Amino acid sequence: MAFPLQGDDTCQSIAPTPLPEPYWVGFSSSLGRELGIALNESKLPADPLWLSVLSGNALANKEHIFSNPIATAYSGHQFGIWAGQLGDGRAILLGDIGPYEIQLKGSGITRYSRMGDGRAVLRSSIREFLGSEAMHALGVPTSRALAVTGSKKPVMRETLETAAVCTRLAPSFLRVGHFEHFAAARQTERLQQLADYLLDIHYQECRDSDDPYLSLFSAMSRRSAELVAHWQSVGFCHGVLNSDNISVLGLTIDYGPFGMMDRFQMDHICNHSDSQGRYAYHNQPQIMHWNMACLAGGMLPLLEKRYSTEEAQQKLQTALEQFPTQYREAWLQRFRAKLGLLEEHANDFELIENLLQLMHQSRVDFTITFRLFAQVQAQADYQSNPLRDHFIDRQAFDAWMQSYLDRLKLEQRSDLSRQNAILNTNPKFVLRNYLAQHAILLAQQDDFSEIQKLLQILENPYAEQPEHEAYSAPPPKELEDIVLSCSS
Ligand code: AMP
Ligand code: MG
Residue 396, pLDDT > 90, answer yes
Q: What are phi and psi of 211, to 5 degrees?
A: -135, 85
Beta bridge partners of 155: 161
Please name the residue whose Cα sits nearest to atom 22 of ligand 1: 89
pLDDT in tens, 281-298: 999 999 999 999 999 999
Could you please report the per-residue DSSP string of 166-216?
Answer: EEEEES---BHHHHHHHHHTT-HHHHHHHHHHIIIII-GGGTTSSSHHHHH
**What's the gap in Å between 74 CA and the centre of ligand 2?**
10
Residue 483, pLDDT > 90, answer no
Q: What are phi and psi of 372, to 5 degrees?
A: -65, -15
**What's the gap in Å between 373 CA and the centre of ligand 2?**
37
User: Of the ligands numbered here, which is closest to the C-alpha atom of 175?
Assistant: 2
**What's the gap in Å between 90 CA and the centre of ligand 1?**
6
**What's the gap in Å between 245 CA and the centre of ligand 2?**
5
Beta-carbon contacts of residue 325 (< 8 Å; ≥ 6 apart) = none
Residue 387, pLDDT > 70, answer yes
Beta bridge partners of 162: 154
**What's the gap in Å between 331 CA and the centre of ligand 2?**
26
Instruction: Determine the atom of ligand 1 nearest the C-alpha atom of 254.
Output: 4
Q: How many CB atoms lie within 10 A of CB 170?
A: 22
- Can you give the pLDDT at residue 1? 61
Residue 376, pLDDT > 80, answer yes
Is 433:262 a contact under the CB 8 Å cutoff?
Answer: yes
The arithmetic mean of pLDDT across residues 195-216, rounded, is: 98
Question: Pocket of ligand 1, candidates 82, 86, 122, 279: which has the most ligand atoms within 8 Å of its Cβ, to mutate?
Answer: 86
**What's the gap in Å between 248 CA and the centre of ligand 2?**
13
Beta bridge partners of 23: 150
Task: Give the residue from 171, 173, 126 showing the smallest Cα distance to 147.
Answer: 126
Please name the residue whose Cα sits nearest to atom 12 of ligand 1: 89
- When the pLDDT of each residue in the chain is averaged and rounded to a whole number, the result is 97
User: Of the ligands numbered here, which is closest to the C-alpha atom of 106?
Assistant: 1
Residue 60, pLDDT > 80, answer no
Task: Give the residue from 425, 228, 427 showing the smallest Cα distance to 336.
Answer: 425
The arithmetic mean of pLDDT across residues 401-423, rounded, is: 96
In angstroms, the CA 131 to CA 147 distance is 12
Please name the residue whose Cα sits nearest to atom 8 of ligand 1: 89
Task: Give the residue from 85, 151, 134 showing the smallest Cα distance to 451.
Answer: 134
Q: Could you give the 3-state DSSP secondary structure of residue 331?
A: helix
The arithmetic mean of pLDDT across residues 12-37, rounded, is: 97
Question: Pocket of ligand 1, candidates 113, 166, 273: which has the most ligand atoms within 8 Å of its Cβ, to mutate?
Answer: 113
Please name the residue whose Cα sits nearest to atom 14 of ligand 1: 89
- Can you give the pLDDT at residue 67? 86
Instruction: Determine the atom of ligand 1 nearest the C-alpha atom of 120.
Output: 19
In angstroms, the CA 9 to CA 73 distance is 8
Catalytic residues: 244
pLDDT in tens, 99-150: 999 999 999 999 999 999 999 999 999 999 999 999 999 999 999 999 999 9
User: Of the ligands numbered here, which is closest to the C-alpha atom of 87?
Assistant: 1
In angstroms, the CA 74 to CA 84 distance is 9
Beta-carbon contacts of residue 406 (< 8 Å; ≥ 6 apart) = none
- Can you give the pLDDT at residue 169? 98
- Residues within 6 Å of ligand 1 by CB: 86-90, 112-113, 116-119, 240, 245, 254, 256, 486
Beta bridge partners of 353: none
Please name the residue whose Cα sits nearest to atom 17 of ligand 1: 116
Sort residue 431 into left (φ over 0), alpha (ψ -120 to 50) or beta. beta
Instruction: Determine the atom of ligand 1 nearest the C-alpha atom of 240.
Output: 2
Instruction: Determine the atom of ligand 1 nearest the C-alpha atom of 86.
Output: 10
State how far the alpha carbon of 153 is from the alpha carbons of 17, 20, 22, 23, 284, in Å: 12, 7, 9, 12, 36
- Can you give the pLDDT at residue 485? 87
Question: How many Cα atoms are found within 13 Å in the side-chain-facing hemisphere of 22?
Answer: 28
